[in-house]
Amino acid sequence: MTPLSSTVPGGGRHGPLQVTVLTGFLGAGKTTLLRRLLRDRTDLRIAVIVNDLSDLAVDADLVKELREGHEELVIDLHGGSLGGALRPAFLEALDRLTADRSLDYLLVETSGGSHPHILLEELQRHRGVSLDSMVTVVDGLNLLRDFDAGRALLEDVPALVSPVGLLRAQIEAASVLLVSKADRLTREQVTSLFSVLQRLNPHALLVTMAYGQVDPALVVGARSFQKRRRRPRGEPVRRPPVSPAADDPTLYGLGAITLRDSRPFHPQRLHALVRDGLPLGVHRSKGWMWLASRPLDVLVWSQAGSWVQLEWAATWKAGILVDPAARLLPEERAGLAASLAQLDPVFGDRHCELTIIGLERDRSAFAQALAVCFCTDEELEAWEEGATFEDPWPQSIRRV
């Protein structure tokens, strides 16, 4: 593991708090990387700031679940960007964390709709922190499919106030570029993507990544921001000047809405919706859900561009009551049933809660299409009577 010179074993930290920023476009894999780093660097007392564009703090909940017993080290800032609407809260969090000498390190995960300009300025201006690495996670699969293998980013003057301009700014700001979903790319495709990324940012370290697996020494304690800010080889593609007010997701047409319903999704209708194509302007959707065919499972829905996956997170408490494998005492079963009945007499704690991020027209249309995929009253009656539902989703899914 990489030693941190600002930490004295047994004596607490002296000097500024080292910070690595994890940025990148919507759904690139920042939270997966963050969770992996926290698992790998248990030798450090790491604080985390998790930023989300929507009012549904899915990423922060996943990190808090991982850090059970250390939830106080996770600061959740959602409903905006760190350099925009949440700037005062972000600066307050920085002041509080830098005053805590027991901390060894800080990881900041920005929302996918964040422009890095103001955030970088604030971190470089703050006397209590030292910017270690600026890590941009680039979704290799979506760069290939939705951005013409990256060539859409190479226009002479791409519109700054567009998702293309935002993604390009995130790439240009990086000291480390991690290309995610590399397991789904061929060697030739990776080579092509690297060629584009090197033109956009000649001084960044380029590394492929799958499921957040990367050498933590490249991200934590690497001092890459200062090292790679030396004069780069070659000239980067020129870009227009950045406005001080650039960190406002609405400038890029990005916004979020949240869909909430206690009913399960009909597995076949939901699968057909995804199979038949997603609106181009829906860049990201994520959240908690359940399928009528899988009443035990808390599923995490994750969509980024044209890519969708389900992951298993836990078992619903309501599912435990009907699970033959659950070994509950009669009094435990009665207490659990009573508490769940207060939530919903039929579904208990089971519910669907998805945030949809993208252009206004497309995210509204997708929310309406998703709503049609919930089970109808007739289907719910059949479900309560034990009916089965055809389920085309993969039967074996990864655990979050």
Kindly report, residue by residue over 192-209, the tens digit of the pLDDT.
999 999 999 999 999 999
Mean pLDDT of 223-238: 64
**Where do the CATH 3.30.1220.10 domains begin and end in the chain?**
254-384
Q: What is the pLDDT of residue 201?
A: 93
The secondary element (H helix, E strand) that includes residue 300 is strand 294-304
Cβ-in-10-Å burial (0-12, 13-18, 19+) of 171 comes to buried
Reply yes or no on whether the pLDDT at 173 is more than 60. yes
CB 145 within 8 A of CB 165: no
Reply yes or no on whether the pLDDT at 251 is more than 90. no
| Type of residue found at 227 | K
Whole-angstrom distance, CA of residue 134 vs CA of residue 33: 14
Mean pLDDT of 272-277: 89
Split at pLDDT 50, 70, 90, the class of 70 is low
Closest among 118, 103, 116 to 17, alpha carbons compared: 103
Q: What is the CA radius of gyration of the chain?
A: 22
CATH ID of 7-250, from 3.30.465.10, 3.40.50.920, 3.40.50.300, 3.90.1150.10: 3.40.50.300
Structure tokens at 366: 């997708």
- 3-state class of 211 per DSSP? coil
Reply yes or no on whether the pLDDT at 84 is more than 90. no
Whole-angstrom distance, CA of residue 242 vs CA of residue 144: 26
pLDDT in tens, 298-342: 999 999 888 898 999 999 999 888 887 888 888 888 888 888 888
The full 3-state SS of 139-187, as one line of letters, equals EHHHHHHHCHHHHHHHCCCCCCCCHHHHHHHHHHCCCEEEEECHHHCCH
Please name the fold of domain 254-384. Hypothetical Protein Yjia; Chain: A;domain 2 (3.30.1220)
Closest among 291, 293, 310, 313 to 301, alpha carbons compared: 310
Q: What is the pLDDT of residue 156?
A: 62
**Where do the CATH 3.40.50.300 domains begin and end in the chain?**
7-250
Closest among 105, 141, 125, 98 to 21, alpha carbons compared: 105
pLDDT in tens, 33-51: 999 999 999 899 999 999 9
Q: What is the pLDDT of residue 69?
A: 62
Give pTM, 2 decimals. 0.86
Closest among 64, 124, 130 to 103, alpha carbons compared: 130
Closest among 170, 156, 188 to 114, alpha carbons compared: 170
- 3-state class of 293 per DSSP? coil
